[in-house]
Amino acid sequence: MAVIIDGKAVSKKILEQVKKETEGFGKKPCLAVIIVGGDPASKIYVNNKRKTALELGFESIVKELPENISESGLIEEIEKLNNDGKVNAILVQLPLPKHINSEKIIETIKPGKDVDCFHPSNVGKIAVNSEVFVYPCTPKGILSLLEEYGISVEGKNAVVIGRSNIVGRPLSMMLVNKNATVTLCHSKTQNLKEITKSADILISAVGKPKFIKREMVKDGAVVIDVGITRDEQGKLSGDVDFESVKDTVSFITPVPGGVGPMTICSLMQNTLELFKQQNQRFWKK
Ligand code: GUN
């Protein structure tokens, strides 16, 4: 029986540290979130971000913009936040409406305030393993979980499934930077089972319930499940067939309560980190 990785507990512990550190500053880190349109799931995510930020003593700005805003109108709003000295961190909630070019929007965010690490210049820094402002939230949260449970990635075979810009791509580079041997699989990968079977650390970010079956996982592997899908009854499922896999692996994340809570936790750490970077002169003795 595997150790069940408790993302809720790790997130709580890290957030308590962030709150404590924030109390010492006498000035509030400020996270600005832009949401375009009324997608219900995005609204819930943004509300949770706002709530958590306020609980930590951060300042929270949420800009709710209409679905039909023009691309140039959205760019103007981002530029206002770029130029606002009070704003330390900017997040544009994705996905954006179809008439807006997301890449162009992401490239408008000032790299030093890019709390998601989505700007190509920030992603490029990960690619060449140079110093970044902050790391992308979900990959950072996954590495925090591994670290908290004493799981080293160095020299291990890490298999990542899913090549999204939010999770799979940056995570695979971050694992390489930590000296893992990384295979990045995706929808066109052939012989997936043979590859997943070779994984010491298997990370699935696909969004297909119960996609990873017991026979695809090596005995004793560490299994990290990034997938979250809600069925018609509203029940959440991960990518991993948890009940069948949990008996043969060493560590496994549940859904919910595994990777999920870590994303928002990393977002708060990143906001504090950007705040500190931007106020460095102020803090220096
Ligand atoms: N939509 C889903 N996940 C994310 C995320 O991590 N950041 C942003 N900005 N949008 C998202």
The residue whose CA is least distant from atom 2 of ligand 1 is 94
d(CA 106, ligand 1 centre) in Å = 12
**Phi, psi (5° rounding) for residue 30?**
-120, 120
What is the pLDDT, as a whole number, of residue 284?
53
- Global confidence as pTM: 0.97
What is the pLDDT, as a whole number, of residue 281?
67
Q: Which residues contact 70 (CB under 8 A, 6 or more apart)?
A: none
Whole-Å CA distances, 174 to 77, 125, 128, 171, 183: 31, 11, 10, 5, 12
What is the pLDDT, as a whole number, of residue 234?
86
Closest approach atom of ligand 1 to CA 263: 6
Cα separation of 147 and 124, whole Å? 24
The hierarchical CATH code for the domain 25-111 is 3.40.50.10860
Residue type, 56: L
The per-residue b/e assignment along 56-75, b for 16 or more CB within 10 angstroms, e otherwise, is bebbbbbbebeeebebeebb
Cα separation of 8 and 221, whole Å? 22
Note whether 25-111 and 137-260 share their fold: yes
Write out residues in the chain with pLDDT < 50, as ranges: 285
Give me the long-range contacts of 71-78 (CB less than 8 A, separation at least 24).
Answer: 71/99, 71/100, 71/101, 71/104, 71/105, 74/34, 74/36, 74/100, 74/105, 75/104, 75/105, 75/108, 77/34, 78/34, 78/105, 78/108, 78/109
Cα separation of 25 and 13, whole Å? 20
Contact criterion met (CB below 8 Å) for 126 and 173: yes
Q: Helical H runs in the chain?
A: 7-23, 40-55, 71-83, 102-108, 120-127, 137-148, 168-177, 192-197, 242-245, 260-278, 280-283
Dmax (CA) of the chain: 58
The residue whose CA is least distant from atom 9 of ligand 1 is 93
d(CA 60, ligand 1 centre) in Å = 17
- Name all residues whose Cβ lies below 6 A of ligand 1: 91-94, 116, 137, 166, 263
Antiparallel, parallel or unpaired: β 236-237 and 229-230: antiparallel
Q: Residues with catalytic annotation?
A: 49, 93, 116
Neighbours of 127 (CB within 10 A): 14
Whole-Å CA distances, 31 to 58, 59, 179: 7, 6, 32
What is the pLDDT, as a whole number, of residue 285?
47
The hierarchical CATH code for the domain 137-260 is 3.40.50.720
What is the pLDDT, as a whole number, of residue 1?
86
Q: Which of 116, 230, 259 to mutate to test the pocket of ligand 1 (most atoms within 8 A of CB)?
A: 116
Cα separation of 161 and 225, whole Å? 10
The residue whose CA is least distant from atom 3 of ligand 1 is 94
Cα separation of 202 and 159, whole Å? 5
State the Rg of the chain over Cα. 19
Cα separation of 246 and 238, whole Å? 13
What is the pLDDT, as a whole number, of residue 261?
98
Closest approach atom of ligand 1 to CA 92: 9
d(CA 167, ligand 1 centre) in Å = 10
**What are the residue ranges spanned by the domains of the chain?**
25-111, 137-260
